[in-house]
Amino acid sequence: MSRGANAFISFPDDFRWGAATSSFQIEGAHDLDGKTPSIWDVFCREEGRIKDGSNGDIACDHVRLYREDVALMASLGLDTYRFSISWPRVIPEGTGKVNPAGLDFYDRLIDELLSAGITPMPTLYHWDLPQRLGEQGGWLARDTAYAFADYTEAVVSRLGDRIQTWTTLNEPYVSAILGYVTGEHAPGHTDRASGFTASHHLMLAHGLAGQRIRDIAPDADLAIVLNFTPVEPASESVADVAAAERVHDTDNRWYVDPLTGRGYPAETADHFGWDQAEVLDGDLDIISQPIDVLGINYYTRQIIGADGQLRLPEGTPQNTMGWELHPTSLGRLLRWLTNDYGFRRLIITENGAPMPDGDRHDGQVADDDRLAFIRDHLSEVHSAIADGCPVEGYLVWSLFDNFEWAWGYGPTFGIIEVDYETQERRPKKSADWYSAAIAAKGFELPETPSVYRP
């Protein structure tokens, strides 16, 4: 690893370069072969939930097109592909009978990836809870955590012979807070107390599933993916600093602390009057059993004022969803997780940006802004590695333009453009750049710093 005279930065030989997606956002085939609705299928059908009124019925039609999609990944040179498994495809009733046809799809996908030389990295839960379980309380019901462990067992027993890293949950923060407190995501509840209950049951689900993975696949690595949004106070005032701390506790420490045996941030639990009644004896031990790898999703930072709300300074570069573009916060985050928590293995499991994607050159989306975003974040990863952070890889979000939850198909995160009329895929300029960086195991830094289009 070196920073040469020509400003070429190179990454370790075994650094993993890949891309990520999730089942609901790309698969389509919403009722194929016995799959039942997930809470997202139902949520999308509720008036006003999704900005463009869309749903995931077809999305990128990936269940039908997975062979072509894997060929495309191989042509870019990706060595790792992170995807998620749809629980209602595998256990349509949420508990009980396994649907072999549902598992067959993932079996074929994994074989296809392996024969293309790509390491499959599945996530067991990326928000598409079976609606049947939603009707029984969803993540407010403790039983859902046990049902998740049974589902995990079914999946790992069938596919575990070909998987090196099992990821339990994607972003429990988003499931709990956007799903149960702000109501922006399925199931759309708006109650703070429910958010605490849901977050604990999610973390418990991670722990219980982790135990099953250890039993069934003792040689596999156990991972969880957490999203982190570093926080800074808008000023040094006591009120701003206190509010920023609180947001840091609820958004970041709430998950990584219990995971590492520190329990839930006590002061913030008190502040919100959470009595922790749902935390039963032994739960925190289950939650804090050691993992092997921490997956990190990083998109933006937050500057917080005394009222706990975002303060985005005028002219701040941001993406089309209004999130500040701030690469250096990724480096800071990696140093914090390494130095304060002592993680020994980290992987960036999501990082990317929705950009305007308006410019074309010879028909190709000329997404110089996304290219710069990816390059600048990789460059932060490179410096963090040089400082001793054990980052093993980088997976861009996302491989494709896809269904962006409450935003529908508006924001485009893909390095590959998807024409939803024809299902044609077209790599953008950022994909070509990424592919060249993968081949060279590094890239040239530009002479002038990036200017992002606000």
Binding residues for ligand FCB, per CB under 6 A? Answer: 22, 25, 170-171, 174, 227, 297, 350, 397, 404-405, 413
Our CB check for ligand FCB shows the closer of 22 and 99 to be 22
Looking at the Cβ atoms of 25 and 86, the one nearer to ligand FCB is 25
Choice between 397 and 409, CB closer to ligand FCB: 397
For residues 282 and 280, give the distance between their C-alpha atoms in angstroms, rounded to a whole number.
Answer: 6
- Rounded to 10°, the helix 100-115/62-76 angle is 20
Comparing CB distances to ligand FCB, the nearer of 283 and 350 is: 350
| Least gap, CB of 446 to ligand FCB (angstroms) | 25
Q: For residues 383 and 9, is the Cβ–Cβ distance under 8 A?
A: no
**Which residues on adjacent β-strands are paired with residue 165?**
221
- Burial code of 321-359, b = ≥16 C-beta within 10 A, e = fewer? eebbbbbebbbebbebbbeeeebebbbbbbbbbbbebee
Minimum distance of ligand FCB from residue 127's CB (angstroms): 7
Q: Residue 84 or residue 99: which is nearer to ligand FCB going by CB?
A: 84
Question: What is the rounded CA–CA span in Å between residue 431 and residue 414?
Answer: 9
DSSP string, 169-235: EE-HHIIIIIHHTS-SSTT----HHHHHHHHHHHHHHHHHHHHHHHHH-TTSEEEEEEEE--EEESS
Closest CA to 152 of 166, 132, 162, 142: 166
Query: What are the residues whose beta carbons fall under 8 Å from the beta carbon of 382, sequence distance 6 or more?
Result: 1, 9, 11, 442
Q: Shortest distance, CB of residue 170 to ligand FCB, whole angstroms?
A: 5
Shortest Cβ 59–ligand FCB spacing (Å): 12
Query: Toward ligand FCB, which CB reaches closer, 101 or 406?
Result: 406
- Length in residues, the chain: 454
- Does the annotation mark 93 as catalytic? no
Long-range contacts of 262-271 (CB under 8 A, 24+ apart): 264/200, 269/196, 271/246
DSSP assigned state of 260: T
Q: Which tokens in the block code for residue 440?
A: 């060279």
Compute the least distance from the CB of residue 52 to ligand FCB, in Å: 15
Q: Please report which residue ranges of 327-412 form alpha helices under DSSP H.
A: 328-341, 368-386
AA letter at 400: F
Q: Work out the number of other CB atoms within 10 angstroms of the CB of residue 228.
A: 25
Backbone angles phi, psi at 416, to 5 degrees: -125, 125
CA atoms within 13 A on the CB side of 399: 30
- Asked if 171 is an active-site residue, the reply is yes
Interatomic CA distance for residues 347 and 263, integer angstroms: 23
What is the Cα 82 distance to its own chain's centre? 9
Catalytic residue among 112, 171, 232, 380: 171
- Retrieve residue 435's tokens: 């592919």
Active site residue: 232, 350, 404, 417, which one?
Answer: 350
CB of 379 to ligand FCB, least distance (A): 21
Residue 84: CB minimum distance to ligand FCB, A: 9
Residue (144 or 227) nearer to ligand FCB, CB: 227
What's the min distance (Å) between Cβ of 350 and ligand FCB? 6
With respect to ligand FCB, which residue has the nearer C-beta, 99 or 297? 297
Cis peptide before 383 (omega within 30 of 0): no
Question: Residue 173 Cβ, how far from ligand FCB at the closest point, in Å?
Answer: 9
Using the minimum distance from each CB to ligand FCB, give the nearer residue, 129 or 279: 129
Q: Give dist(CA 170, CA 14) in Å, integer.
A: 24
Just list the catalytic residues.
171, 350
